[in-house]
Amino acid sequence: MDEISQTEDKEKKSRLLHVIEKHHLALVPLERMEEIEGLANAYIQNGVMPRSNLNDALHVATSTVHEMDVLISWNFRHLVNIGKERRIAVVNQMNGYYYPLRLATPLEVMNDENIS
């Protein structure tokens, strides 16, 4: 929600908020922030993500800690690529997280009824 609230394009912000409402998406509780921050730092310390991409590391760590099935992003450079997914899985397992996290683009998770 922080990133959406910082979006200056009012039309884009409105569309994003509409998607959240339409699909009844829930906000992730933040009570495990210390755990999430620790895992994000592990990604950085193990060279999976650069320190300059702390927000991306936090997104991945949040998804991992809360055992989400998929993290959806258009960020091919730092997130959505198979090599990154494998390196994240290694760090997750080193830190006791075994639930498989998929990294995907929105197109990969859309079904036919969403395309029209």
> In sequence order, what are the beta bridge partners of 71?
103
Q: Is 62 inside any structural domain?
A: yes
Longest dimension (CA), the chain: 43
The boundaries of the domain holding residue 95 are 56-110
Q: Is 105 inside any structural domain?
A: yes
Q: Is 41 inside any structural domain?
A: no
pTM (2 decimals)? 0.79
One-letter amino acid at 19 equals: V
Q: Is 12 inside any structural domain?
A: no
Q: Is 23 inside any structural domain?
A: no
- Give residue 16's pLDDT band: very low, low, confident or very high (50, 70, 90): confident
Q: Is 89 inside any structural domain?
A: yes
30-85: per-residue pLDDT in tens? 789 999 999 999 999 999 999 999 999 999 999 999 999 999 888 877 788 899 99
Whether 101 has a pLDDT exceeding 90, the answer reads yes
State the total domains in the chain: 1
Residue predicted with more confidence, 25 or 32: 32
- Give residue 116's pLDDT band: very low, low, confident or very high (50, 70, 90): very low
Q: CA 68, 58, 27 angle in degrees (round to 5)?
A: 50
Query: 11-30 in b/e burial notation, b at 16+ Cβ within 10 A?
Result: eeeeebeeeeeeeeeeeeee
Q: Is 44 inside any structural domain?
A: no
Q: Is 10 inside any structural domain?
A: no
